[in-house]
Structure 1
Amino acid sequence: MSTDEALGGILVATTADKIKADYFAANQKHATFLPPERLLTKQYKVSRSTMRRALALLTRRNLVRAEHGRGYRILEKGETSKKIPRIAILQAAEKSAIHHGRTSQEIIDAMQRQSLKRKWQVLNIDIGDINPQAVIADLKDAGIQAVALVFEDRKIVEALLKANIPCISLENSGRELNIDYIFQDNYGGARRATKYLLSRQHQRIAWVGPINDSYTSFARWSGARSALIEIGIDFLEDDVITEFEKLESVLKKLLSKKNRPKAVLALWESQIIALINVTKKLKLKIGKDIDIIGWSNQTRYQALKRDIFTKGKMPPMVVWNPDEMAEVAITRLIAHFENSNINPLHIAVPAKLVLPK
């Protein structure tokens, strides 16, 4: 251990002892919760990192318990900080995120909801470019028992496995590491959407969306094509739109042709909204002049119904549920808690075709 590490450990222990003396003595206890972390940092004149480690030390000593949205609760005699599982949700800082945006945030929100239902403690961590070993040290200091990843970083995963910290990957593309992967059923959802259009006697279907920029897009493209190839047809080259600059103009040109496709798969939210705008401009009635299918999650589906389709007919949509993904994730974490030697699984969360009423 270096001199700096030794001094850092002493400062953490000293800070924890000072907090204990100020807030936990029998004749001095005057609060149910400790002050917020930022105030403690200022009060004891230490860095945020040192304060977090001091609070983690108090947690391990069964003096406090972190409660989501409330802070660190001072425990009564006989209570323990170890009754409630503590998990961390790791997400990349925006500048380095592989999987970032609305979907990842909705997955994080769902994980928080499902964890709190079970009274689990959840810590969200943006790791950015932090060294994997520093991440592991912070997780251990915080008493984290398992990790959910909403981005993928091989070095982080390898460090977690080496430290014997169970981890699962949510909606990530790699699928190459020896951990659980939980994701939307992109292949199955796209296949169901395509078969629905075929059942409506469409033999020519257009595609609007990426096809190979990620596992998600490739799986959706493959699922759609499998349904077509099964009956001996395929997408026409001119009906596949994968470039999205001036998308509405491109769609308008395609759908204005005399011999145009009368069915379109637009399995991403931005593409389905652009497509809806074009059908309105061309006065094409969904379900009569043209059939289209989009893709969304349960939360966004309700928002689209409320905000986009207030006056028009809602098209069929492939819909998946982030809370269902979180439920599966929690179930797998429990399995890892109970048996550290279980084999990892790849689990597809159902993506259901929802038809308009």
Structure 2
Amino acid sequence: MARSAKTGRSNGPTLRDVAGRAGVSAMTVTRALRDDPRVSPETRERVLAAVAELGYRPNAVARSLRLGRASGLVGLVVTNLANPFYSRLALGLDSVVGEHGLKTVIGNTGQDLDAERDLVADLVTRRVDGIIAVPAEADQRHLAAAAAQGVPVVCASRPPSGFEADHVLVDDFGGAKDATERLIAQGHRRIGFLGPPAAVYTSTERLRGYHAALADAGLPADDRHVRQGAQDTADAAHAAAELLALHDPPTALFCSNNRNTIGAVRAAGPDVALAGFDDFELADMLGRALTIVAYDSDELGRAAGRLLVDRIHQTPESTAAPRRTVLPTRPLHYGG
């Protein structure tokens, strides 16, 4: 690791250090970090692995010289603009970055990893000042590459994977466990689970909380009562109908996001107890008992925005190790 001749303090790994670790030239490292098509996928993976192992971060001055004048734009990458959660996140983010003269550009990936890669690459090409991303999957090499090029990256709702970055999460495990425990306290012993695809971090964490509540109550976990994969209300309604058509159907459903809760409301009669994660408009007007795990989605955006602004402006706080913020949840009870 390079050291200052005057102070002896570590200056961090250099581009040449990364090249040496990956067994390539410094120029190849530069091209790999720019996603240059002349670099093979295998070589790019070696370079990104070396970047992650060494914790390489480009010099801020070099970044400004390379990127030129700042664009004044911040990219927000989300998975489903149809979900009101993301509009609240965007409003929270915009309220913070707007105070610093920055504007938010929003891109939707549709939970598609290839679309996310293309979108992130386009944002980097357009010289955004930073990126807030809700990653679609655990494969985040494109985000790691953007960060390695000196573009500040903050992950929201889902943590970084394969690289280090500031991130803001919700207490997914704790909120799901609490909601499931409330259904158990009502006397339910067969509780179904509805959630988005298993590759989604929040779905996995909320399923883990659901299982933990069952285990603590001495109840068996029945895989037949779990449905993961629904991304819209129609799919969720179909999944809920499947569960309720079983020979021994659940008497209650825990729905791990608002799209699944709305789908379950459409499919389940009033005799089926419902608990869901994420509040949504008109939840209090449904005329049925409903427990919701709520949190401040605007604050999720604001917290991510504050972390990003720190990195963009190179504040003293941003020189520390990547920071993790976890927002608390609270139960809401509607109807009955």
User: Aligned partners of 1:129 and 1:241: how far apart in 2?
Assistant: 30
Check conservation: 1:168, 1:181, Cα contact below 8 A.
yes
Q: Which residue of 1 aligns with 2:15?
A: none
Q: Which residue of 1 aligns with 2:275?
A: 293
Q: Which residue of 2 aligns with 1:272?
A: 261
- Bigger radius of gyration, 1 or 2? 1
Q: 1:124 aligns with which of 85, 98, 105?
A: 105
Check conservation: 1:208, 1:266, Cα contact below 8 A.
yes
Gaps of 5+ in 2: 1-66, 108-115
Check conservation: 2:292, 2:332, Cα contact below 8 A.
yes
Q: Which residue of 2 aligns with 1:349?
A: 327
Amino acid at match of 1:202: H
Q: Describe how 1:129-168 pairs up with structure 2 within 5 A.
A: 129=118, 132=121, 135-136=123-124, 138-139=126-127, 144=129, 146-151=130-135, 153-163=140-150, 165-168=151-154
Q: 1:338 aligns with which of 307, 312, 315?
A: 315
Instruction: State percent identity of aligned pairs.
Output: 18
Check conservation: 2:293, 2:330, Cα contact below 8 A.
yes
Q: Describe how 1:243-322 pairs up with structure 2 within 5 A.
A: 248=237, 251-252=240-241, 254-255=243-244, 260-280=249-269, 284=270, 289-297=271-279, 301-305=280-284, 309=286, 312-322=287-297
User: Aligned partners of 2:176 and 2:106: how far apart in 1?
Assistant: 33
Q: Describe how 1:44-193 pairs up with structure 2 within 5 A.
A: 86=72, 88-91=74-77, 99-101=79-81, 102=83, 103-116=85-98, 118-124=99-105, 126=107, 129=118, 132=121, 135-136=123-124, 138-139=126-127, 144=129, 146-151=130-135, 153-163=140-150, 165-172=151-158, 174-193=160-179
User: Aligned partners of 2:134 and 2:309: how far apart in 1?
Assistant: 18
Over 3 Å counting, the alpha-carbon distance change for 1:252 and 1:137 in structure 2 is closer
User: Aligned partners of 1:249 and 1:124: how far apart in 2?
Assistant: 34
CA RMSD of aligned residues (A): 3.5
Q: Describe how 1:189-204 pairs up with structure 2 within 5 A.
A: 189-204=175-190
Over 3 Å counting, the alpha-carbon distance change for 1:234 and 1:178 in structure 2 is same
Amino acid at match of 2:95: R
Secondary structure of the 1:129 match is helix
Over 3 Å counting, the alpha-carbon distance change for 1:331 and 1:238 in structure 2 is same
Check conservation: 2:237, 2:263, Cα contact below 8 A.
yes
Cα deviations by residue, 1:21-58 (Å, 9 ceiling, x for unpaired): xxxxxxxxxxxxxxxxxxxxxxxxxxxxxxxxxxx98x
TM-score (norm 1): 0.58
Check conservation: 1:207, 1:235, Cα contact below 8 A.
no
Q: Which residue of 2 aligns with 1:323?
A: 298
User: Aligned partners of 1:216 and 1:254: how far apart in 2?
Assistant: 21
Cα deviations by residue, 1:309-351 (Å, 9 ceiling, x for unpaired): 2xx1251111232211022223323544312421112322223
User: Aligned partners of 2:104 and 2:242: how far apart in 1?
Assistant: 49
Q: Which residue of 1 aligns with 2:40?
A: none
Over 3 Å counting, the alpha-carbon distance change for 1:292 and 1:162 in structure 2 is same
- 1:179 positional shift: 0.4
Over 3 Å counting, the alpha-carbon distance change for 1:315 and 1:228 in structure 2 is same
Check conservation: 1:87, 1:147, Cα contact below 8 A.
no
- 1:260 positional shift: 4.0
Cα deviations by residue, 1:74-108 (Å, 9 ceiling, x for unpaired): xxxxxxxxxxxx551243xxxxx7x3333444422
User: Aligned partners of 1:328 and 1:317: how far apart in 2?
Assistant: 22
- 1:156 positional shift: 4.1
- 1:131 positional shift: 8.4
Over 3 Å counting, the alpha-carbon distance change for 1:199 and 1:88 in structure 2 is same
User: Aligned partners of 2:76 and 2:259: how far apart in 1?
Assistant: 26
- 1:224 positional shift: 0.8
Amino acid at match of 1:185: D
Secondary structure of the 1:226 match is helix
Matched residues, number: 250
